[in-house]
Amino acid sequence: MNLLKLIWGPPGTGKTKTVSALLWALACMKCRTLTCAPTNVAIVGVCTRFLQNLKDFNQHIDENSLPLSLGDVVLFGNKQRMDITEDLQEVFLDFRVDELLECFSLLSGWRYRIASMVSFFDDCVSRYDMLLEDEEKSDPASFLDFIKKQFDVTAAALKRCIVKLWVHLPGKCFSRNGAITISTLLNMLGKFGTLLCDVDLTDEGLKRVLHCLSTENSVCAQPISFIEKELDGARCTCLKLLKDLQHSLNLPTGVDKNWLQSYCIRNATLLFCTTSSSYLLHYMEIAPLDVLIVDEAAQVRECELVIPLRLHRLKHVVLVGDDCQLSAIVKSQVCREAGFATSLFVRLVTLKFDKHLLNIQYRMNPCVSQFPNAQFYERKILDGSNVLSPSYNKDYACLPFGSYTFINVTDGREDKESTGNSRRNMVEVAVVLHLIQTIFKCMSKLKPIFSRNLNILPRSLW
């Protein structure tokens, strides 16, 4: 291991934002990075924040480079325990594999879709002739209507396949020229479809264009109208781009789910999972990872962090956390006495290992941050300009307990819920409800407009 760094981030100082910026920088340098956190909630939060910032980050990328693709980002883990939102689906491994499985199928995959589109442009006239021979109805569909329907179905299937490949495959699967070809092809297919709907296009004009372009060495009248010339050019361009794509795309066909899972992880630049789920990487033949980033590192048990630390040829490690917040949770008294409740972050801090401090907090009212800053952080934390702004601060004078207060509920008693293992304290619940009622009554008197928002809560609270 060449480098080990600690980033110390008290509440509201931008730990997750720092991790996002670091990940983007590493991805731009093509450094394969594994990001871990102790819980599913934590790692989903890190991945969500990174994806939210990705659009902004891509705006600063070098003009000669392709932007970071979602296919370069993979989140994997226990699907049942992760709250995978719609925004996260496109980077979640299980969803990605299901989406790509059809694209790599022999009967409906990318190669089949491209070949079908080429066949449409080359043989659509003969297809219609066959339809006429088999048509039993006295009034068959017009040539134009037939072509429109065939094009819409074939082009829609191809577009779906290409978009899925573009979204879910790593950027390394596409060269810059390949990316340009795909973009141009999608635009030209759209243009061809629009031209087919032109009111000035007739059956005769369409047959003239398609017959001249589909029959070699034929002596046919050249397209004479503007729409026919446009259609001629769009079709020629589409055919060229399709054939270029057939030869340039170096992608497999006929693969199963297990192969696809391994393929996505092997080729991704940024991997996200819990520290315990990283064990899966030990059973895959993947290229060495360059960097391991651990968020909420002060809450990760030292023995658990060994799992990703033992990955083959890992070069650099960055631990991000706050040893003044929650520590690693170990329920067994025997394990606690044996020292298993210590995180690597805390152990290194105890050994006087240097840690970089994020010393500006952007979340709390200065009245609130004053106490933890003095009590836990030796007054090293500064308030950001946003929380010092008059527009950020609220008037809490009407509240009986000011900006913050400590309330000791001595009469409470914990008991288990009827289902599950969670515990509850109904006396504390009653105290919290009473406090909420008090706050809303005070705020409604201070700001009448605010009272309209009371409707979002049950009437029993106000």
Total of domains in the chain:
3
Q: Report the sign of the C-alpha dihedral through residues 428, 81, 305, 271, in that order.
A: negative
Residue 422 · residue 416 · CB < 8 Å: yes
pLDDT score, position 450: 45
Report the CATH number at residue 315: 3.40.50.300
| Domain stops at, among 197, 224, 248 | 248
Helices and strands (H, E) in the chain, number of each type: 16, 11
Residue 363 lies in a domain: no
Asked if 7 and 49 sit in the same domain, the reply is yes
Asked if 35 and 160 sit in the same domain, the reply is no
Asked if 90 and 110 sit in the same domain, the reply is no
Q: Indicate the pTM of the whole model.
A: 0.80
Residue 375 lies in a domain: no
| Domain stops at, among 200, 215, 248 | 248
Asked if 339 and 235 sit in the same domain, the reply is no
pLDDT score, position 134: 62
Distance in angstroms (rounded) separating the CA atoms of residues 185 and 418: 59
pLDDT score, position 454: 44
Asked if 316 and 206 sit in the same domain, the reply is no
Asked if 202 and 216 sit in the same domain, the reply is yes
Q: Distance between terminal CA atoms of the chain?
A: 58
Collapse the DSSP code of 37 into the 3-class scheme (helix H, G, I; strand E, B; otherwise coil) and give the result: strand
Quick one: 1 exposed, middle or buried, by C-beta within 10 A (0-12, 13-18, 19+)? exposed
Asked if 423 and 399 sit in the same domain, the reply is yes
Residue 89 lies in a domain: yes
Asked if 400 and 451 sit in the same domain, the reply is yes
Residue 227 lies in a domain: yes
Residue 381 lies in a domain: no
Give average pLDDT by consecutive 10-residue segment, the chain, 462 residues. Answer: 86 91 90 94 92 78 67 90 85 93 90 91 74 60 82 93 90 84 91 82 73 45 69 87 89 89 91 94 87 94 93 92 87 82 91 93 88 90 89 66 80 78 85 87 63 45 43
Range of the domain at 444: 394-461
Residue 366 lies in a domain: no
Residue 335 lies in a domain: yes
Asked if 200 and 271 sit in the same domain, the reply is no
Residue 346 lies in a domain: yes
Asked if 198 and 328 sit in the same domain, the reply is no
Asked if 63 and 143 sit in the same domain, the reply is no
Collapse the DSSP code of 424 into the 3-class scheme (helix H, G, I; strand E, B; otherwise coil) and give the result: strand
| Domain stops at, among 189, 220, 248 | 248
Asked if 233 and 277 sit in the same domain, the reply is no
